[in-house]
Every structure is written in structure tokens, then in C-alpha cells.
């Protein structure tokens, strides 16, 4: 059996509202996922040796952890357990997506491993796809989005209830700024003051307007000002570096600048590559990493 290589793309959240608290302790969300072309790469090679081995090539801010805690390894382990197969696999992961950045890098790695192994082991029937979806949901709230294979998805529940959307964002380039530190997601939700019904109602209205603008084929000037992220409420006052980068992008003329997910990445949408380069120059005083990307 030959190995295969797969891309593992990042995401941004173009909209994120917290609509309630669930009995299981998680929060109900309304979010718009958008996959982008900033990507890690994974190579999956069947091995003569039993077990799962993971090696990581760090081209970002990856901090080594025991392989059993890495989502790529955990996804492989879940696949072999879920399909009752004996594992014998080597995984090579090249990390380019910053970790702990609100870009879904680990979740994307997990989905890429599940998808890749389903191809390697020819588990492609409708029943197999349903099993893969259950495995993805068990690995993390964002993993189902990456497994879905759509560029844009509306997410509800914990983010795992998905509806693919054929949006037309128009000509665009995204500017992403990672400040070099992580923002732990549990702490963000713990510090969040739950929005009232009136605030959620306003957000739902803005979400409908955002979707309408992105269906129209209009560029970022039409839809970027409608982006929202409720998780900015606890993060921006506590993390001045994130707030400053967001403010610099806005002051430089970005139609919309916002934090992705629970942070720490801030991004803006530009109508051209030249405009994106100009916005990126506005971030020069900020320490960190800047990327240009597109939806993909």
C-alpha cells in the first residue's frame, strides 16, 4: 500500500456569536467558517512496524508535545480504533499554521488524517463517511468543518452542525496577523459575559446581511464591515497586542478587521493584493507574523 500526501488548510471565522449555554458545559454558537490557503502538509505512509509514529517539521511556532497529545496522532488512533484495524503508520507533519491562533490548525490536521486514512484504507461508503463524521466530532468542535470539504460552512451547536454555503466573496486577499502568543480557548469562554437576547437578535440580523452580501458576489467592501466576533469582548481588553493590531488595520482603512475564533490571530479582508500589502505594512510596528491568504 502506497502512502499519500494531503494539505491541511487553516480557517477563519467570518462571524461568531454565542447564542446560549448548553447542559454539557459547551456554548451554542452561530458561526461562519471560511477555509483559507494557509496550510500545513501531511504525509501518511503505511509501515511494516505496528503502531503510529508522528514526526513534526516546525516552520511556525509549534512547541513539541508528546505525540499522543497531538491531534494528528489522536485522529489516526481514533480511525484505527473506530474501524477496528491494526495501526501501522508513519505520519510526517509540516507545520506552517501557527498553533493556538484561532486558525484551526490542529483540527485541520485531525480532519486531514481522517480523510487521508479513509482513502488509504478504502473506507469510502456512506456508512464509512458517517463513522468518520462521528470520529471527527469526538476529536473537537472544529474538526467536522474541515472534514466537510467545503470552503464556507455555517456552524451551529458547538460548531459541528454544518450547512455548506456556496458564497461568492468577490476579489479578495486576507491579511492575517499572529502576535506570537496563544489565547487558551477555555479561559476566553470562562471570561465571556453571556450576551442578552437583544444583542443576539441584532447579531442574527447582521449575520443574515453578511450572508446576503457574500451570496451577491460583492467584494469585501460590501461584506467585511458586517463581520462580528462575540469572543472579542473578553479578549481585546485583556490582550492589548491583539487590540492594537486590530486598531491599526482599521486605521489603515480595512473595511473590516476582526479576531478569528478565540484568538489570537487578527485578520482583515482587502479587495486586492495591493491593498492587502498596504494593510500588512501598517502592522510593521507590531511584533509577530503576517500572512496573506485567500479563501480556498
Residues labelled as active-site residues:
11, 142
Q: Whole-angstrom Cα distance, residue 42 to residue 123?
A: 19
CA distance 128 to 123: 6
Q: How far apart are the first and last CA of the chain?
A: 30
φ/ψ of residue 261, rounded to 5:
55, -135
Instruction: Tell me how far the alpha carbon of residue 50 is from its chain's centroid.
Output: 32
Distance CA 188, CA 96 (A): 24
Compute the C-alpha angle 54/152/103, nearest 5°: 40
The three grid cell numbers given for residue 282, joined into one nine-digit string: 501598517
The DSSP line for 60-92 is: SS-----GGGSHHHHHHHHHHHHTT---EEEEE
- d(C-alpha 281, C-alpha 47), whole Å: 47
Nearest residue to 1 via CA among 89, 60, 95, 130: 89
Which long-range contacts (C-beta less than 8 Å, at least 24 apart) are formed by 164-167? Answer: 165/32, 165/211, 165/214, 165/215, 166/215, 167/211, 167/214, 167/215
User: Measured between alpha carbons, how far is 79 from 89 in angstroms, rounded to an integer?
Assistant: 12
**Burial readout 77-115 (b: 16 or more C-beta within 10 A, e: otherwise):** bbbbebeeeebbbbbbbbbbbbbbbbbbbbbbbbbbbbb
Amino acid at each position: 500500500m502506497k502512502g499519500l500526501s494531503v494539505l491541511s488548510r487553516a480557517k477563519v471565522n467570518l462571524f461568531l456569536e454565542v447564542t446560549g449555554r448548553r447542559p454539557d458545559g459547551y456554548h451554542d454558537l452561530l458561526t461562519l467558517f471560511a477555509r483559507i490557503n494557509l496550510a500545513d502538509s501531511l504525509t501518511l505512509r503505511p509501515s511494516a512496524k505496528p503502531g503510529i509514529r508522528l514526526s513534526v517539521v516546525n516552520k511556525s511556532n509549534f512547541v513539541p508535545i508528546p505525540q499522543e497529545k497531538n491531534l494528528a496522532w489522536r485522529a489516526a488512533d481514533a480511525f484505527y480504533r473506530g474501524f477496528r484495524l491494526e495501526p501501522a503508520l508513519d505520519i510526517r507533519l509540516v507545520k506552517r499554521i501557527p498553533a493556538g491562533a484561532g486558525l484551526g490548525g490542529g483540527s485541520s490536521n485531525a480532519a486531514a488524517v481522517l480523510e487521508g486514512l479513509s482513502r488509504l484504507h478504502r473506507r469510502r461508503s456512506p456508512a464509512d463517511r458517517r463513522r468518520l463524521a462521528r470520529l471527527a466530532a469526538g476529536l473537537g468542535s472544529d474538526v467536522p468543518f474541515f472534514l466537510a470539504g467545503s470552503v464556507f460552512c455555517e456552524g451551529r451547536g458547538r460548531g459541528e452542525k454544518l450547512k455548506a454555503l456556496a458564497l461568492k466573496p468577490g476579489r479578495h486577499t486576507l491579511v492575517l496577523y499572529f502576535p506570537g502568543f496563544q489565547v487558551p480557548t477555555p479561559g476566553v469562554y470562562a471570561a465571556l459575559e453571556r450576551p442578552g437576547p437583544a444583542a443576539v437578535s441584532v447579531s442574527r440580523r447582521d449575520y443574515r446581511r453578511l450572508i446576503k452580501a457574500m451570496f451577491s458576489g460583492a467584494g469585501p467592501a460590501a461584506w467585511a464591515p458586517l463581520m462580528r466576533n462575540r469572543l472579542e469582548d473578553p479578549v481585546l481588553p485583556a490582550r492589548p497586542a491583539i487590540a492594537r493590531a486590530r486598531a491599526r488595520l482599521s486605521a489603515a482603512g480595512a473595511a473590516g478587521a476582526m479576531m478569528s475564533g478565540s484568538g489570537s490571530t487578527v485578520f482583515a479582508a482587502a479587495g486586492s493584493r495591493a491593498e492587502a500589502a498596504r494593510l500588512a505594512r501598517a502592522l510593521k510596528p507590531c511584533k509577530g507574523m503576517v500572512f496573506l491568504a485567500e479563501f480556498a
